[in-house]
């Protein structure tokens, strides 16, 4: 701040006069606390994209009025941080196993809205079979994958979605196609399955992408609500800690690395197809 502004003589708003007590007490102008969050605290790193994605999910649930029917099935990973602080019912599953557990919930109680929350290590490395079979069965659940291309919880190791050239603690010189294999583009894979009714990939590294992510989550939940089949939303999230990049650089790193390979957009939406 320039000396002129501090002195109240330059351009911009005048400095607040603090020589006398304020005439009225402080009051909240706007509350940005999202709905359906029970306990605000979590232990994820600064710059992490997962809280933004989970916020989008609970806001989409609230916007559609599904909070009194939702059961969220959490996997194991950084996102497990949100399994015990949301104001939606939560069932904790094992690493990779949320889709089968969610299937059991939905088949036993078809009137519920069932959502899995899993990372890329969880859904694609450990649990690829689970999500593919759930999609193929047309299971009326919504799987949400928070894809940052690393095992963040363990400290930045290579997963099945790590892009070529990406450095991790287990691919120090960058992921190499010969040594480590190529990444799996999960949303593209799932979109090919007939049971999948809505498949989209998005990101949370810009304000516009955050808004698009929330719209995609709403669309996925609407697909489930209307009984059309399986839905998947893959959300690219920042992990500056696991990527070993500066926190402010993470959104751009996401665009240049994960975003450039995995892409973004709606890959499949049965609701959007014209009637035959």
Partner 1 sequence: MSDRRLRMGSVAIADAMIDAGCRFFAGYPMTPFTEVLEHMARRLPEVGGVCMNAESEIEAVGMAWGAAATGTPAATGSTGQGLSLMQESLAEITLARLPLVVLNMARAQGDYWQATRGGGHGDYRHLVLAPGDVAEAVAVVHEAFTLSATWRNPVLVLGDYYLAHTARAVPSNGRAPGATPAAPPSWALTGASGGTGHAKLVSFLGSVKQRDDVGYDLAAHYTACAEHTATMLRAVPARAEVGSTEDAEVVVVAFGTPGGYVRAAVQALRAEGVAVGWVRPITLVPFPAAEVAAAARGAKAVAVYENNTGQMLDDVRLAVLGAAPVEFIGGLSLDSSGFGIAPDLDVAVLAARILDVVERHR
Residues near partner 1, by CB under 8 A: 35-36, 38-39, 41-43, 61-62, 67-71, 73, 80-81, 83-94, 97, 99-109, 111-113, 129-130, 133
Q: Are 99 and 122 in contact (CB under 8 A)?
A: no
Nearer to partner 1, 69 or 164 (CB): 69
Task: Closer to partner 1 by CB, 41 or 178: give it.
Answer: 41
In angstroms, give the least distance from the CB of 259 to partner 1: 30
**Which residue's CB is nearer to partner 1, number 139 or number 234?**
139
Q: Which residues contact 103 (CB under 8 A, 6 or more apart)?
A: 134, 137, 139, 141
Q: How many C-beta neighbours within 10 Å does residue 205 have?
A: 21
Distance between CA atoms of residues 177 and 165, nearest Å: 9
Nearer to partner 1, 10 or 110 (CB): 110
Q: Work out how close the CB of 128 gets to partner 1 at its nearest, in angstroms, rounded to a whole number.
A: 12
Of 146, 233, 225, 228, the C-alpha closest to 187 is: 233
Task: Evaluate whether 38 touches 57 at the Cβ level (below 8 Å).
Answer: no
DSSP 170: T
Q: Report the nearest approach of partner 1 to the CB of residue 45 (Å).
A: 13
**How many alpha carbons fall within 13 Å on the CB side of residue 106?**
25
**Residue with tokens 């949370």, as numbered in its chain:** 204
| Phi, psi for 232 (deg, rounded to 5) | -130, 130
Task: Report the largest interatomic distance among the alpha carbons of the chain, rounded to a whole angstrom.
Answer: 73
Shortest distance in whole angstroms from residue 125 CB to partner 1: 15
Structure tokens belonging to residue 98: 């949320």
What is the nearest approach in angstroms of partner 1 to the Cβ of residue 34? 12
| Min CB(81)–partner 1 separation in Å | 7
Nearest CB to partner 1, comparing residues 9 and 84: 84
Nearer to partner 1, 134 or 210 (CB): 134
Shortest spacing between CB 213 and partner 1, in angstroms = 21
Task: Please identify, using beta-carbon distances, which residue of 93 and 123 lies nearer to partner 1.
Answer: 93
Residues with Cβ within 8 Å of residue 168, at least 6 apart in sequence = 150, 156, 157, 158, 162, 175, 242
Q: CA-to-CA distance for 58 and 65, rounded, in angstroms? A: 10
Please give the DSSP secondary-structure letter assigned to residue 127. -
């Amino acid at each position: 701040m320039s000396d002129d502004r501090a002195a109240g003589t330059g351009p911009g708003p005048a400095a607040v006069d603090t020589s006398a007590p304020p005439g009225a007490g402080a009051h909240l102008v706007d509350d940005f606390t999202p709905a359906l969050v029970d306990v605000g605290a979590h232990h994820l790193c600064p710059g992490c994209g997962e809280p933004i994605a989970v916020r989008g999910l609970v806001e989409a649930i609230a916007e559609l009025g599904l909070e009194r029917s939702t059961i969220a099935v959490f996997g194991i990973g950084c996102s497990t941080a949100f399994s015990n602080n949301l104001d939606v019912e939560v069932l904790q599953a094992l690493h990779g196993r949320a889709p089968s557990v969610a299937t059991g919930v939905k088949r036993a109680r078809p009137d519920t809205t069932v959502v899995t929350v899993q990372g890329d290590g969880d859904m694609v490395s450990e649990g690829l079979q689970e999500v593919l079979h759930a999609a193929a069965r047309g299971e009326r659940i919504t799987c949400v994958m928070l894809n940052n291309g690393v095992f963040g919880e363990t400290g930045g190791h290579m997963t099945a979605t790590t892009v070529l050239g990406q450095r991790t603690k287990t691919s120090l010189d960058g992921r190499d196609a010969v040594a480590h294999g190529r990444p799996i583009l999960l949303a593209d894979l799932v979109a090919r399955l007939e049971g999948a009714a809505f498949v989209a990939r998005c990101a949370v590294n810009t304000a516009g992408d955050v808004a698009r992510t929330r719209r995609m989550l709403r669309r996925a939940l609407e697909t489930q609500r209307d009984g059309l089949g399986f839905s998947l939303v893959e959300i690219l999230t920042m992990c500056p800690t696991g990527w070993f990049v500066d926190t402010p650089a993470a959104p751009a790193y996401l665009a240049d690395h994960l975003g450039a390979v995995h892409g973004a957009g709606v890959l499949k939406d049965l609701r959007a197809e014209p009637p035959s």
